[in-house]
Chains A and B, each alone.
Chain A
Amino acid sequence: MGKITGSQAVVRCLQEEGVKTIFGYPGGAVLDLFDALMDSDITNVLVRHEQGAVHAADGFARVTGEVGVALLTSGPGATNGVTGIATAHMDSIPLVILTGQVPRPLIGNDAFQEVDIVGITRPCTKHNYLVSNVEDLIPTLRKAFHIARTGRPGPVLVDLPKDLVATKLIYPEKTPIHLSSYQPTFYPHPVQIEKACRRIMKAAKPVLYVGGGVILSNSSKELTELAEKLSIPVTMTLMGLGSYPGSQKLSMGMLGMHGTYTANMAVAESDLLIAVGARFDDRVTGKLADFATKADIIHIDIDPTSISKNVRVDIPIVADCKNALAAMNKWFDTESSFKPAEQGERLKPWLTLISEWTAKHPLAYKDNGTIIKPQYVIETLHQLTGGQAIITTEVGQNQMWAAQFYTFDYPRHFVTSGGLGTMGFGLPAAIGAQMAFPNRTVIDIAGDGSIQMNIQELATAKQYSCPVKVAILNNGYLGMVRQWQELFYCKRYASTTMDVVPDFVELAKAYGAVGLRATTKSEVEPVIREALATNNLVIMDFKIEREEGVYPMVPAGKANTEMLLV
């Protein structure tokens, strides 16, 4: 077989991994790679800022379940990508980020556009590599994809020196990947499964607390089966929304800081908390000492470090959620002493109590005539899309209202930066999602603050004909920070008022998009209808109630039962 250049080999390797779309931005150190891409069927989506490239690859990965790929140049190209990489790392999203590096003889010499990106991203990647020998190039890339997609997924960065990708090599045959020091535990220990199932059969007030791991492992089906077989109510984290249908009776919605009254009360009263692919994040637990104090805890997670990190766990199960849930379902199916009907009967008082909580304090907001309430906008979006849209969000109030009021019935429909809480995530992520599914409705629910953090990506959306719908909940504030200032800082609105904001309708036009505005409640529905009927990039500017808050809210450091309600 003849020799090809390192760049051509990288492109061939991407094709071998099934990559069709990547997100990137060129520069001196990656000229060879972009040149080689031109001869392939891989589309590079040329973003307007490298942060956008990584978020778009991330959005692509979240909706497809495939590895997202970003290609950035050395130095500032790579450092601009860091926020995107950290975002993906916190939410366990499989990405491969390829960065250019200065030629090997210049590494360490403070060369033009040189930065130690492997050093910089060490704490915010699952793993990273600097390729220094040409024969390692393809094996390293294959390992990068393997590490990114297996176990607890995450971003893997591969730094490629410019002279190395210009060197010729013989493309190596694909061989099975074996990493002796990386062996995730995929299958649960049967003893632990039995112990967990027997404990579940004894529980009077069980709660399923499910997180992003259920979505990442594609185990919504197994989870739904378990919940329904055992009549166990389900609460989901922000990352877990859609893993169990939000409109089903057993769903209690989201828990935690902005969770439902029902979910937080249920966890507090529960005698058995079954955590699946969730990590007991501080936004979920509130004050740790008061979290689920009456409950034994079963914790299923593929990452052993998540178990007993914040909360002591009684029955740990290290495994892929899909395999663990399937094993539990099988156990109940074959256990003669287990009768689904009796179980349903047994849990009746618990389910009654739960529906009483929901009746007493459902998710709610005060409607007051003509002023647009943000929750109403989200509800209308839900209604007019039939709950089928892919929703991305920015971060802050827009994100929480989206999580609360767009009832998610399907996994991989809600794309949001949970762990890192990255403003500016939603628009590029929506572009990534739309590139993956050109025919589906993709809506970025944004605030007037966050949308400005990566607004340059409107041009990317336009260039690649992504008919993303951006719904700006415009209150003229950095609303979530303002809400904290209102509640905990005596209404001193330090640096949360944006006095100068672009005219988003005119801005949309400047980008060749459609701009629509609603200033009264009655205009909301027509605007959304028009946006959904438009096969173009659309910005909807909703002038909402300026000081609307997100409720319920658990003040930082308080127990989840100490919620502030509407």
Chain B
Amino acid sequence: MKHTISVLLQNKPGVLSRVTGLFSGRGFNIESLCVAETLDPNVSCLTVVSRGEDTIIEQITKQLNKLIDVIKVTEINDKDFVEREMVLLRVKAEAATRAEVLRVVDIFRGKVVDVSAKSYAIELTGSASKIQAIIDILRPIGIKEIIRTGIIAMPRATKTK
């Protein structure tokens, strides 16, 4: 099963390699990984998506917590959460398909961010499944290049009733 884990870390050199080293050294899988500074410049937030049995995910969160530079580990899947990923796609756009590509981009509420005679570069954000959907639709037309950010996720605020 897919799990999204959010990790707050000291924003210092070498900390990311402690995290990735832990995953590779213990044979845990990384599906995607995304890291950037938080509001506090001394702290960064890392979102890692992994796949595994619950016992493996439990080990991953414990092992992450054990790292001295890790401040907090949250398994986002335990909560109601919002996840987003961004993708940049360069799609073949020749005379016959230019209009079709634009229509698809429009339906997915994407943006064209670069245009050339033979291609469009498209920006799209959404859940992992939405990103996958546009990829599936544009693939027959011809995707020349794809760059994905990996997932970032945030638990929804607790609702008061």
Among candidates B25, B55, B65, residue contacting A304 with C-beta atoms closer than 8 Å: B65
Q: Mark B131-147, 1 if CB is under 8 A from A, else 0.
A: 00000000000000000
| CB < 8 Å neighbour of A305 from B17, B18, B59, B68 | B59
How far does the Cβ of B40 sit from chain A's closest Cβ, in whole Å? 12
The answer to whether A181 touches B17 (Cβ under 8 A) is: no
CA distance A180 to B65 in the complex (A): 12
Select which of B17, B63, B65, B70 is within 8 A of A122 by beta carbon: B17
- When distances are taken between beta carbons in the complex, the residues of chain B under 8 Å from A340 are none
Give the complex CA separation of A551 and B66 in angstroms: 38
Contact between A147 and B21 (Cβ–Cβ < 8 Å)? Answer: no
Closest to A118 in B: B14
Segment 252-294 of A: residues with Cβ below 8 Å from B = none
B91 CB, nearest partner CB in chain A, Å:
40
**Contacting pair B10 A305 (CB below 8 A):** no
Residues of chain B within 8 A (CB-CB) of A305 are 59, 62-63, 66
Partner of B70, one of A118, A181, A303: A181
- What 1/0 flags go to B59-82 for Cβ under 8 Å of A? 100110110111100000000000
> Is B83 interfacial (CB-CB < 8 Å)?
no
Interface positions of B from 44 to 63, Cβ below 8 Å from A: 55, 58-59, 62-63
The one of B21, B62, B65 that contacts A123, using a Cβ cutoff of 8 Å: B21
Give A118 to B14 CA distance when docked, in angstroms.
9
Residue A112, interface by CB 8 Å? no
A123 nearest CB neighbor, chain B only: B25
Say whether A127 faces chain B, with CB atoms less than 8 Å apart.
yes
A176 at the A/B interface (Cβ < 8 Å)?
no
Bound state CA distance, A303 and B69, in angstroms? Answer: 16
| Contacting residues, chain B, for A130 (C-beta < 8 A) | 14
Beta-carbon nearest neighbor of A156 in chain B: B68
Evaluate contact between A181 and B66: CB separation under 8 angstroms.
no
Query: Is the pair B21, A122 in contact by a Cβ cutoff of 8 Å?
Result: yes
Q: Which residues of A contact B18 (CB under 8 A)?
A: 122
Q: Please, how many angstroms separate the alpha-carbon atoms of A119 and B22 in the complex?
A: 13
Contacts of B10 in A (CB 8 A): 181
Pick the residue among A119, A181, A303, A309 that contacts B68 (CB under 8 A): A181
Q: In angstroms, how far is the closest chain B Cβ from the Cβ of A46?
A: 32
Q: How far is the CA of A507 from the CA of B25 in the complex (A)?
A: 42
- Interface check A534, CB cutoff 8 A: no
Q: Are A180 and B71 in contact (CB under 8 A)?
A: yes
Q: Report B-chain residues with C-beta under 8 Å of the C-beta of A303.
A: 66
- Total interface residues in chain B, CB < 8 Å: 18
Distance between Cα atoms of A303 and B65 in the complex (Å): 10
Residues of chain A with a CB closer than 8 A to B66's CB: 303-305
A308 touches B55 (CB 8 A): yes
User: In the complex, what's the smallest C-beta–C-beta distance from A317 to chain B, in angstroms?
Assistant: 15
Which chain A positions have C-beta within 8 A of B68?
A: 126-127, 147, 179, 181-182
Contacts of A304 in B (CB 8 A): 62, 65-66
User: Complex formed: what's the CA distance from A216 to B34 in Å?
Assistant: 38
Q: How far is the CB of B122 from chain A (nearest CB, A)?
A: 39
- B residues 1-47 with Cβ under 8 Å of A? 10, 14, 17-18, 21-22, 25
The CA-CA distance from A304 to B58 in the complex, in Å, is 10
Q: Mark A434-476, 1 if CB is under 8 A from B, else 0.
A: 0000000000000000000000000000000000000000000
Q: Which chain A positions have C-beta within 8 A of B58?
A: 308
In the complex, are the beta carbons of B59 and A309 less than 8 A apart?
yes
Tell whether, in the assembled complex, residue A181 and residue B71 are in contact, meaning their CB atoms are under 8 Å apart.
yes
Give the CA-CA distance A171 to B68 in the complex, in Å.
Answer: 25
Q: How far is the CB of B148 from chain A (nearest CB, A)?
A: 28
- Tell me how far the C-beta of A456 lies from the nearest C-beta in chain B, rounded to whole angstroms: 31
C-alpha gap A303/B58 in the complex (Å): 14
**B61 CB to nearest chain A CB (Å):** 9
Q: How far is the CA of A239 from the CA of B124 in the complex (A)?
A: 56
Residues of A within 8 A of B55 (CB): 308
- Inter-chain CA distance A119–B71, complex, in Å, is 21
Which residues in chain A, 142-194, are within 8 Å of chain B measured between CB atoms? 147, 179-182
Residue in A119, A179, A182 whose CB lies within 8 Å of B17: A119
Cα-based distance from A303 to B63 in the complex (angstroms)? 10
Whole-angstrom CA separation of A308 from B18 in the bound complex: 23
Q: Which of A304-319 contact B (CB under 8 A)?
A: 304-305, 308-309
Tell me the complex Cα distance, A123–B65, Å. Answer: 15
Bound together, the chains give a CA A303 to CA B55 distance in angstroms of 16
Q: Mark contacts of B85-115 with chain A using CB atoms, 8 A cut-off: 1 yes-contact digit, 0 otherwise.
A: 0000000000000000000000000000000
Residues of A within 8 A of B69 (CB): 181
The CA of A181 and the CA of B18, in the complex, are separated in Å by 14
Question: Which residues of B sit under 8 angstroms from A123, Cβ to Cβ?
Answer: 21-22, 25
CB-nearest residue of chain B to A147 = B68
Provide the residues of chain B in CB contact with A179, threshold 8 Å: 68
A130 to B18, CA, bound (A): 14
| Distance between A97 CB and nearest chain B CB, rounded to angstroms | 16
Which residue of B has the minimal Cβ distance to A126? B68
A147 to chain B: closest CB distance in Å?
A: 6
Restricting to A116-132, which residues have a CB under 8 Å from any CB of B? 118-119, 122-123, 126-127, 130
User: A127 CA to B62 CA in the complex, in Å?
Assistant: 16
Give the CA-CA distance A118 to B21 in the complex, in Å.
Answer: 13
* Separation of A196 and B25 alpha carbons in the complex (Å): 34
* Complex Cα spacing A386 to B71, Å: 50
Which A226-266 residues have C-beta < 8 A from chain B?
none
In the bound assembly, the distance between CA atoms of A305 and B68 in angstroms comes to 14
A285 to chain B, nearest CB (A): 16
- Which A residues are in CB contact (< 8 Å) with B22? 123
- List, in ascending order, chain A residues with CB within 8 A of B21's CB: 122-123
Closest A residue to B62 by CB, please name it. A305
Smallest distance from the beta carbon of B101 to chain A beta carbons, Å?
45
A183 CB to closest chain B CB, in angstroms? 10
List chain A residues, Cβ under 8 A from B59.
305, 309
Q: Give chain A nearest CB distance to B81 CB in angstroms.
A: 23
In the complex, 18 of the A-B residue pairs with CB atoms within 8 angstroms, ordered by the A residue number, are A118-B14, A122-B14, A122-B17, A122-B18, A122-B21, A123-B22, A123-B25, A126-B68, A127-B68, A147-B68, A179-B68, A181-B10, A181-B70, A304-B62, A304-B65, A305-B59, A305-B66, A309-B59
What 11 new A-B contacts, CB under 8 Å, besides A118-B14, A181-B71, A308-B58? A119-B14, A122-B14, A122-B21, A123-B22, A130-B14, A181-B10, A181-B68, A181-B69, A181-B70, A182-B68, A303-B66
> B residues near A, CB below 8 A?
10, 14, 17-18, 21-22, 25, 55, 58-59, 62-63, 65-66, 68-71
* Nearest 8 interchain pairs by C-beta: A305-B62, A127-B68, A181-B71, A182-B68, A123-B25, A304-B62, A305-B63, A305-B66
